[in-house]
Structure 1
Amino acid sequence: MSLAQRISRAPEAIAGITILICLMLVALSAPLLFPGDPLAISGTPLLRPFVDATHWLGTDRLGRDVLAGVVHGARTSLLVGLVSAAAAIVLGSVVGTLAGFAGGLLDELLMRVTDAFQTVPGFLMALAFVSTIGPSLMVVVTAIALASWTAPARLVRAEVLSIRERDYVASARAIGMHPLKIAFREILPNALPPVLGLSAIIVAGAILTEAALSFLGLGDPNRVTWGGMIAEGRAVLRSAPFLSIIPGVALVLTVLGVYLAGEGLVEATSRRSRA
């Protein structure tokens, strides 16, 4: 049975992938659906949802279209989540592979650096990094990646330690292959599957961290973010709760979709390994 067939038999994977595909389509079509600046004033302030045909989800305190903000905010959330997770996995995989394959002093040094990063909570590290350098999309992505690479590093190291003594690795050593080629061409690809299962958690955490930073006013000021929209609605939470509820629901759906898709993929790959 192929991987696609196993995924099709996992309802949580189908639900998660469907949610993510819809969100990606919305994010990619944002410039077509709302070609103007989503931060521009476009109507009367504090219009309620489904009252004005030109502003289906209403407007905020300044008269900005809520629907345009939600659609453009999807681009920011998915971009930050995917790019920062990819950077964290790449960095963690490199560190874990070097530590597990080399062993000795290098392993000890890299693991102590990993321990030092793990002693600081990830969100506090990202918060301190962005507060020090200044809010921008690249800084936020870098901060989240630096706060998330330690788990992939430890997981890859554990996998490399179990793989490096196998016969095909010994054969590669015997024919004189360079140690770095052995580590990254022969060992790392076989150590990645468990890390890919962890990637859904990293992406979901990155999206939530970006939203939290934006909620605190540390997101990119030139981009619409769901966290910033939720924070904007705090001042009128009693009179216009939809300003915080709508982007909050979008955030929950995104994290739920990532989590369900990740759980489904892990279950499908585990069935393959058992088979």
Structure 2
Amino acid sequence: MRLAKKLLATPEGAIGLALLLLLAMIALLAPVLSPGDPLRIAGRALIAPFTDPALPLGTDRLGRDVLAGLLHGARTSLAVGLAAAVAALALGLSVGMTAGFAGGLVDEALMRVVDAFQIVPGFLLALAFVSVMGGSMPVVVLAIALGAWSDPARLTRAQVLSVREQDYVASARVIGMHPAEIACKEILPNILPPLLALSAVIVAAAILTEAALSFLGLGDPNMVTWGSMIAEGRNVLRSSPWLSVIPGLALVVTVIAVYLVGEGLDRTLKDQKDSTR
């Protein structure tokens, strides 16, 4: 709660959180605001926005409601972004904590694995994984997480190396605490702040990666996403540009909101660190 209050005190954090809360409400209320299947045919094809009160944002080439797709696409984008970020952070935290706390050959072996994943760009890794495994939503989440976990792992290892020799960790060893207990109770709470700031970057990158995969036709065909809406509109970009522009703007606003929260978190954590010196 204290961190949230300090985050709201920063302009970036307040604006970013307000936008994210609005997007989250839209995502949660999508079935109420636009009940039914968003992929169903709602009217004639290519109705322009603001010309039909029943279809405020018009329809696409197949006559599907653009507003319904936008609302339900918010659910997909936020769900994929958050799930992929949680998976990437969990994997990176586990590997980085183990490497930094164990040291020696374990550290060396795990860091070589991290290096191997960092050689391949995250999007290309996700693209290859989805191409082989299929485009279901769990596969997309796993693919994005596999391309994003190496950065949290390196950051976690660096943080663990900086705190494992502190007096409070040494005291925990002296009183006979189990290494796993020391890692979870003594080290983990002190290395979480930088990871929280990094998580915003991972969420934003995950949302963009999911949109790119859907744009290429590698997303879940049974779910509406902003990337698939942009791809649908590219075929009629000259005559009906709104089909790509509207979901594109939604994607831009979401990513900016996540980055603003990340910037606010970074500033809050830096101010908190300075105040403790």
TM-score range, shorter chain: over 0.9
1:3–1:272 CA contact under 8 A, matched in 2? no
TM-score in terms of structure 1 length: 0.98
User: Structure 1 residue 5: deviation in Å?
Assistant: 4.5
The question of whether the paired residues in 2 share the 8 Å contact of 1:85 and 1:206 is answered with yes
Deviation at 1:6, TM superposition (A): 3.1
User: What is aligned with 1:161?
Assistant: 161
Runs of 4+ in 1 over 2 A off after TM superposition: 2-9
Aligned to 1:121: 121
Q: Distance in 2 between matches of 1:118 and 1:8?
A: 34
Unaligned runs of 5+ residues in structure 2 are none
Aligned partners of 2:96, 2:3: CA distance in 1, in Å? 27
**Ranges in structure 1 where 5+ consecutive residues have no aligned partner:** none
Q: Deviations over 1:211-248 (max 9, x none)?
A: 00000000111100000000000110010000000000
Contact kept in structure 2, 1:97 and 1:184, CA below 8 Å: no
Name the counterpart of 2:108: 108
Q: How does 1:220-259 map onto structure 2 within 5 Å?
A: 220-259=220-259
Greater shift after overlay, 166-175 or 136-145?
166-175
RMSD over aligned Cα atoms: 0.9
Distance 2:134 2:3 in 1: 43
Give, in angstroms, the shift of residue 7 of structure 1: 2.6
Which aligned pairs between 1:161-200 and structure 2 lie closer than 5 A? 161-200=161-200
Identity, % of aligned positions: 66
What residue number does 1:40 align with? 40
1:264 aligns with 2:270: no
How many Å separate the matches in 2 of 1:38 and 1:185?
46
For residues 101 and 75 of structure 2, the distance between their equivalents in structure 1, rounded to whole angstroms, comes to: 38
Letter in structure 2 aligned against 1:126: A
Instruction: For 1:274 and 1:138, locate their aligned partners in 2 and report how far apart those are by CA, in whole Å.
Output: 41
Q: Which moved more, 1:180-189 or 1:108-117?
A: 180-189
Q: Give TM-score, length-normalised by structure 2.
A: 0.97
Amino acid at match of 2:55: H
Alignment-mate amino acid for residue 99 of structure 2: A
Q: How does 1:13-92 map to 2 (within 5 A)?
A: 13-92=13-92
